Structure 1
Amino acid sequence: MAEQGPINIMGAGLSGLAAATILAKAGHEVHVHDIRDDSGARFDGDFQALENWSMDVDFFDQLKQWGFDTSEFKATEFTEVDLIHPDDEITQARSPKVSYRIVERGTSSHTIDQGIKRQALAAGAKIHYKSRVKEEDCQIIACGPKGTSAVAYGEIFHTNHPNHIAFQLNDKLAPGAYSYLIIIDGVGLICTCLWRKQNKSDRFLNETIAWYDKHYPELNRQPIKRVGGKGDFTINANYLQDGRYYVGESGGLQDFMWGFGMRMAIWSGVLAAKDILGECDYDQEVRKQLLPYVKTSVANRWLMNRVGDRTFKMMCKSWMKDQKKRNDGLVWIGKLFRPTLLKGLLYRLVNPFMLKKDPKSMGRGVRRMPFRKSLK
């Protein structure tokens, strides 16, 4: 349990604000510092997905259990997703349960960033923007990415198309990764993700947009702006170091395979706060509840780096075959994300070759997945 007194948090993203909310509700004096102008400013209004298949419990049920009001931000639920095969076949992955919740990131009032921020402020936390602090002066470190392991490029547009989501595996449009289409209430996003450096990388977005325009001609897109972001994927030897809790991206707590991170970000912030309140052991709970999923995603990323469209097609066919058998498309994809003995063994074999030591990690033993070199 950390010493009592004012608690300083570095980073006003989801993990930092989640921790601040829990602590402030418990009566602590909490100060959250962020170098940006506002929470969510780094995301520029793009859509992101809260997946709902990797664990048995629904993430919104977890949020409510932790005391968060999910009505404070807009979340659009989907039970059906277009699954686009590498050969351009389009099938539908369906489930009787919620598959995805799409939320917007950014500074608009309906975003998840602003929704969690309002709850932190209501609880009594003080948020200081444009405030630069040192790690050693904070109890919780909840910063964004420090390195680059992957990038995403997207275009936001107006459309009269109904709400829709599509997920595409195509090694030519998104080498080693995926592209996607999201439409929510007249605003759409087409995005391609790259886990490998590429010369003239903007061409991948241009070609991805052209693909969706061809295969979804009813989009009637009116471009608004282009957006971009990066992911930083790390494994930490220590999650609690010198009295500091490393949460969210700062703790390397996110999915290496496809980049899902919001669930673990909030969860780790909650666990850090509960440790400070004497309700759990943060390092122990991270290793028990979150790290097995991170390690599984490392093994998955290693496999994804070594296959191409032929294997992606096999994956899509297997997914659809399993859905037909079970009448639930979440079962197959859920198994892909969940820890198994085989994935655990694979992680132990491949992580020494995938991850490189970070010499600037302040003794935390951080190893980072480097941005892979471009194909010749």
Structure 2
Amino acid sequence: MRDRAEITIVGAGPAGLTCAIGLALAGKKVVVREWHGDVGHRFHDDLQGLENWTDPVDVLDELAAIGIAARFDHHGVSEGVVFDGQAKPHRVRGKRPLFYLLRRGNAIGSLDRALLDQAVKAGVEVRFNDRVTETAGDMILAAGPRRADIIAAGRVFDTDMEDGAWLAIGSELAPKGYAYLLTHNGRGTVASCMFSGFRDQASHVAATLAFFERHAGLRMQNPRPFGGFGNIRLPRTAMQGECPVVGEHAGFQDALAGFGLRYAVRSGRLAAESLINSTSYTDAWRRALQPGLRTGVVNRFLFNAAGQSGLDWLIERLARNEAGDTLAQAYRPSLPKRVLFPLAHHRFRAPLIDPSCNHENCDCVWCEHGDHSAAIAGA
């Protein structure tokens, strides 16, 4: 890499901080510039899942291998309940954790706070309230979603419920998406995760709350509203000029379920390695990330085409078999999925463009909280 005084990373999310830690551990001088006043500004101490089925390597071991210790609150979830279209519960189980439950936000114990602490300890300088409007020098762009292809809205709350994980599918709950309920250690998060129908966010959240009250015994104390959004796309190069673009800024996100944390960490690591070793970031992410991203697009196409009866069959299959192996197979690239990809990619944008949300008289999460005037965009 060119011998510059410092490397600038735009954004202090998981992708940017992972990249910063990797560079700092390699002896580089790194400055992270974050527009907001703290990490985790998009989150509300809500519970999220760090998926653990797409790779035989446990995701916590993957983090450790790149120098990131799991010094954040986490809990492995190896079983849960999925409701079919008739609200019939199906229990799914895995041999190992299907995902790790994490907290997001700026509180002690959250993933975001832990990554910040480890970056600072590694020697990274982090500047908050510092917005970047143009690229210059050795810079990595990690500023988060540039648009909303998926939104999640619901409640975070205290509860006396047992620990558990529940998922439900239905257009009244979450158009083209899913609703979920997560509880652990007296805390909970319930949300509608929508790929369409953003303008009707309030009605979908109300239906989700009513569903889980009826079918999962949802009990909330001190409920607080929360919301989030995600950007899903297949970039061409994930470069803006000579600057690598990582995480959701590049659109690295699973097109089926919206899981993006593992992509964020991996793309941050790949960008750091490309600068350290003077190698092509585009070649690296295409080799490491593109097969999974394309498989996600095909899975999204199949999900949209399946209909409720097809989805019910898939839920039964998931419950009959070891869930981790079944999910891994669904996300594994294959010849049939490579053949189907051109059609799936052609149809990819259609279900993600929400005609109801035009930023006029709309109070969905994206319209209220999204950064619609960002100067820096991915390639």
Do both proteins adopt the same fold according to a TM-score greater than 0.5, normalized to the shorter chain? yes
Map of 1:372 onto structure 2: 354
Map of 1:220 onto structure 2: 219
Aligned residue pair count: 356
Q: State the Cα distance separating 1:242 from its structure 2 match.
A: 2.4
User: Is 2:148 the counterpart of 1:136?
Assistant: no
Residue 197 of structure 2 aligns with an amino acid whose one-letter code is K
3-state SS of paired residue (1:277): helix
| Residues in 1 aligned to 2:318 and 2:267: alpha-carbon distance in whole angstroms | 31
Q: State the Cα distance separating 1:5 from its structure 2 match.
A: 2.6
CA displacement 1:229-288 (0-9 Å, x = unmatched): 111112111123422011111222110110000011011101111111117542222111
3-state SS of paired residue (1:200): helix
Map of 2:169 onto structure 1: 169
After superposition, the Cα gap between the structure-2 partners of 1:235 and 1:86, relative to the gap in structure 1 and judged at 3 Å, is same
Residue 252 of structure 1 aligns with an amino acid whose one-letter code is G
Map of 1:290 onto structure 2: 289
Runs of 4+ in 1 over 6 A off after TM superposition: none
Map of 2:77 onto structure 1: 78
CA displacement 1:179-214 (0-9 Å, x = unmatched): 111002111111111111254321111111111111
Q: State the Cα distance separating 1:139 from its structure 2 match.
A: 1.2
Map of 1:349 onto structure 2: 343
Residues 217-366 of structure 1 mapped to structure 2, 5 A cutoff? 217=217, 219-278=218-277, 281-321=280-320, 323=321, 328-355=322-349
CA contact (8 A) 1:150 1:371 kept: no
Q: State the Cα distance separating 1:140 from its structure 2 match.
A: 0.2
| Residues in 2 aligned to 1:118 and 1:95: alpha-carbon distance in whole angstroms | 32
Q: State the Cα distance separating 1:118 from its structure 2 match.
A: 0.5
3-state SS of paired residue (1:260): coil
CA displacement 1:93-123 (0-9 Å, x = unmatched): 1122111101011000100001111010000
After superposition, the Cα gap between the structure-2 partners of 1:168 and 1:370, relative to the gap in structure 1 and judged at 3 Å, is closer
CA displacement 1:274-312 (0-9 Å, x = unmatched): 111117542222111111111111111122223332221
CA contact (8 A) 2:301 2:347 kept: no
3-state SS of paired residue (2:298): helix
User: Is 2:37 the counterpart of 1:37?
Assistant: yes
Q: State the Cα distance separating 1:160 from its structure 2 match.
A: 0.8
Identity between Structure 1 and Structure 2 (%) = 29
Residue 344 of structure 1 aligns with an amino acid whose one-letter code is R
Map of 2:23 onto structure 1: 23
3-state SS of paired residue (2:289): helix
Q: State the Cα distance separating 1:2 from its structure 2 match.
A: 4.8
Q: TM-score, normalised by structure 2?
A: 0.89
CA contact (8 A) 1:23 1:273 kept: yes
| Residues in 2 aligned to 1:183 and 1:318: alpha-carbon distance in whole angstroms | 25
CA contact (8 A) 1:10 1:140 kept: yes
CA contact (8 A) 1:106 1:113 kept: yes
Q: TM-score, normalised by structure 1?
A: 0.90
After superposition, the Cα gap between the structure-2 partners of 1:247 and 1:199, relative to the gap in structure 1 and judged at 3 Å, is closer
What is the aligned-residue RMSD (CA, Å)? 1.8
CA contact (8 A) 2:172 2:207 kept: no
Decide which moves more: 112-121 or 304-313: 304-313
CA displacement 1:121-151 (0-9 Å, x = unmatched): 0001011111011341251000111111111
